[in-house]
Structure 1
């Protein structure tokens, strides 16, 4: 698993996790797994939409999230544990500023959205290489709207 329970120490205190989960590590593991899946969903291109063929960087999501320890990308890790904190904090508001957690969650999601759209590129992340056949890559499209007629 990309995220570890010890990683949460950067965004939430241990006693707060203990109060929220009442010592149940399964709740923490569920929050970590949900955060990892949410982050993956932003970085994985949708094969049913051809938008991702517009020239933006495509990331090797499996390689990114199979990394462990110090090999993990620090920025991806930080945003993932922020999302995990949000999933855990939803259960209870024990000595946590809810608005601050929500703001940081929104900021992490906004960052992943920008990565997915290609407005932010992380060259340090592993990237997928698409085959270079001209039939699949279309950097732009052209056409016109259907003719509009006023029928009186």
Structure 2
């Protein structure tokens, strides 16, 4: 499994025996769903934060809010494998809440304390600035 999310992190979200029953004790399935959740989260966070630094953290160096949202997303993907028609409403709600939170982070409505900012070139910073200066082309009114 990846270094950011460990199997023990799932204990706060789902009981281990339920997780093992859903995955049929296949560690590869857990790893695949975790990597998919990380990839999905990177899509939202990469514009504002340095995702390589965020997801390379281990132990207590990990951001707990990102960890919670990522765990909810990974568990949702794991439970969708088992029987999507009988997926718990709580799992759907927690996944949707995580996605809404990520959208708000991407828009800039929410800032995540402790995450390293993305390093941007001056051109990228200028292009992503909320302020733009423009003018009409210069006209020649007399000869």
TM band (smaller chain): 0.7 to 0.9
How far 1:22 moved relative to its partner?
1.1
Cα distance between partner residues in 2 of 1:125 and 1:135: 18
Instruction: Decide whether the 8 Å contact of 2:23 with 2:29 is kept in 1.
Output: yes
**Per chain length, whose mean CA-contact separation is higher, i.e. which structure has more relative contact order (CA < 8 Å, sep 6+)?**
1
- Spell out structure 1 runs of 4+ moving beyond 6 A: none
Gaps of 5+ in 1: 46-57, 145-152
Instruction: Provide the residue aligned with 1:14 in structure 2.
Output: 16
Gaps of 5+ in 2: 137-143
For normalisation by structure 1, the TM-score amounts to: 0.76
| TM-align CA RMSD | 2.5
How many residue pairs match? The answer is 131
How far 1:25 moved relative to its partner?
1.0
Instruction: Provide the residue aligned with 2:132 in structure 1.
Output: 140
Cα distance between partner residues in 2 of 1:135 and 1:25: 41
**After the TM superposition, which of the residue ranges 79-88 and 4-13 deviates more from structure 2?**
4-13
Instruction: Provide the residue aligned with 1:125 in structure 2.
Output: 115
Higher share of residues assigned helix: 2
Cα distance between partner residues in 1 of 2:115 and 2:75: 23
